[in-house]
Structure 1
Amino acid sequence: METPVYISIAGSDCSAGAGLQADLKTGFALGCYPLTAVTCVVNEVPGLVEGIVAMEPEFVAAQVALCLRSFPVRAIKTGMLYSPEIVRATVEALKDFDGPIVVDPVMIATAGEALILQEAIAVYEEVLIPRTTLLTPNGDELAKLAGTAPITTVEELEEAANQLCARYNCAILAKGGHVGGSTCTDILVQPGKPTLRWSHPRTEGISTHGTGCTLSSAITALLAKGQPLEQAVENGLSYIARAIATSHRLGEQFAVNHSV
């Protein structure tokens, strides 16, 4: 049986908990062969971003193009794209790709640091999201994209997800981890289909660094394996819940367990 291949187009995290490092660990754990296109290098650890160096947009596009020419790529995930030029270069490189594209609109680190230039958000909306199969924003990212006030309730999360779904005609997985309360609710909104919700108790006392990257990569891997979108989302959510619950402690840090 041929191993499913997908590309992650994202940033490199030196602490290996998020970005391409999380995508690689997730893809291999789920039986796929993840390729990578580096968009930027981030000097970070959980809770602290010290610096970002972006790749040249042409070099990002060249990585994507070479991977597409050389491997039977079944799905694409985009993570941290950082600049408007990198967003445009990525979309241009994917212009002939007709498989599923999962967009994790990485904008804000868990600790609150910006991971995207402000002017890149409009380019996301103009050229990338209209090509997207599934968009996976957390509450903060969803509020930015929908142009709403900060999201503080599940009802607001769902309302903003519905707005984006109608605007771009793509599926939205609104992640509830940044919404307060003892329970996290994730919401899948799709054009012309019933809304699906998954709720689970909030895990306390464990760093969630890289969990968004891991979830979006898990869903991409499962789509590459041929699972329908709803099944891939449900199984991806189950995977990340197990990964968080069995996190490793590394001195003062926690690391999500991708090998579950």
Structure 2
Amino acid sequence: MTPPVILSIAGSDCSSGAGIQADLKVAHALGVFSLTAVTCVVSEVPGDVSAIQAIEPELVADQVRICLDTFPVAAVKTGMLYSPEIVGACAPLLRRSGLPLVVDPVMIATAGDPLMLESAITAYESDILPITTLLTPNTDELARLLGCGTITTAARLKEATHALCGKYGCAVLGKGGHLSNRCHDILALPGGQTFEWTRDKISGVSTHGTGCSLSSAIASLLAHGLPLPEAVSSALDFVAQSIAAHHRWQHQGLGIDVLNHAMPSRT
């Protein structure tokens, strides 16, 4: 059978734990063919972003255009868009496509390094979020987009997720994996419907690339035709299994963890 197709518009992670490399592995594991439009080349390993080189916006847009024109794309996922020029180059193409759009607002790396220019956030809000199907912010990104203080409790996460859903008029998945020893994830849909998931945190494992993996898993499952709440639930299960089955290497005195995406299909 011919697999469904998604398009990932994201940065390249040379350590292959996040970005388009993670998106490709997730899509393959879930029985989906993923196209890619590279926005940035990032020199990074878990815990350390060394350098970022943005791709020319015209080339990013041409990658998006030629993929959409050539393949039967069923869903799109965006990750690291980085600059207002890249946002502006992609937005008209995504708007015209009318496809389900899963947006991972990649703003800050797990290590704390900025992954989006401050000037890009305004363009993001005006050009990308109004056409978004699902926005998947973590607590730091929620706080930044709402202009509120630090989110430290599950109750505040729920409140902020609903507030962002109302602000942008799209579904929002508030990711609370760093709140406590329990992972809290809240999906708010326009109209007020809420879905919540809570699970024990898998301790002692680096979670580099979980946001990329989750958003690409949701896009892959939407491409298979799953309704949004079911796609989110299955994607959360898939990422949890990928964390639990992680790869680990010891090298030069350091422990390196990478998610293992080679899991059975969740479709």
TM-score (norm 2): 0.95
Residue 135 of structure 2 aligns with which residue?
135
Q: Would the aligned equivalents of 2:3 and 2:33 in 1 still touch at CA under 8 Å?
A: yes
Whole-Å separation in 1 of the counterparts to 2:190 and 2:231: 17
2-side partners of 1:71 and 1:195: how far apart? Answer: 34
RMSD: 0.8
Q: State the Cα distance separating 1:127 from its structure 2 match.
A: 0.9
State the aligned residue count. 259
Q: State whether residues 140 and 178 of structure 1, in contact with CA within 8 Å, keep that contact through their aligned partners in structure 2.
A: no
Q: How far apart, CA to CA, are the structure 2 residues paired with 1:98 and 1:43?
A: 33
Which residue is 1:192 aligned to? 191
Q: Residue 115 of structure 1 aligns with which residue?
A: 115
Query: Structure 1 stretches (4+) deviating beyond 6 angstroms?
Result: none
Sequence identity of aligned pairs in percent?
A: 57
1:211 Cα offset (Å): 0.6
Corresponding residue of 1:238: 237
**Which whole-Å CA distance do the structure 1 matches of 2:83 and 2:39 have between them?**
9
Q: Which amino acid aligns with 1:259?
A: A
1:16 Cα deviation from its structure 2 partner: 0.3
Q: Deviations over 1:220-254 (max 9, x none)?
A: 00001111101100000000000001101122201
CA deviation digits over 1:187-235, x for unaligned, max 9? Answer: 0000114211100111111000001100000000000111110110000
CA distance in 1 between counterparts of 2:82 and 2:227 reads: 30
Unaligned runs of 5+ in 1: none
Pair 1:53 & 2:53 matched: yes
CA deviation digits over 1:9-58, x for unaligned, max 9? 00000000000000000000000000000000000000000000000111
Amino acid aligned to 2:29: A
1:255 to 228, 240, 258: 258
CA distance in structure 2 between the aligned counterparts of 1:85 and 1:53, rounded to whole angstroms: 14
How many Å separate the matches in 1 of 2:145 and 2:45?
26
Letter in 1 for 2:257: F
Q: Which residue of 2 aligns with 1:19?
A: 19
- Cα distance in structure 1, aligned partners of 2:191 and 2:112: 34
CA distance in 1, matches of 2:103, 2:153: 23
One-letter identity of the residue aligned with 1:218:
A
* SS of the residue 1:95 aligns to: helix
One-letter amino acid of the counterpart of residue 211, structure 1? T
Deviation by residue 1:134-182 (Cα, 9 ceiling, x = unmatched): 0000000110001110111111111111111111110000000122x11
* Residue of structure 1 equivalent to 2:85: 85
The alignment's TM-score, normalised by the length of structure 1, stands at 0.98
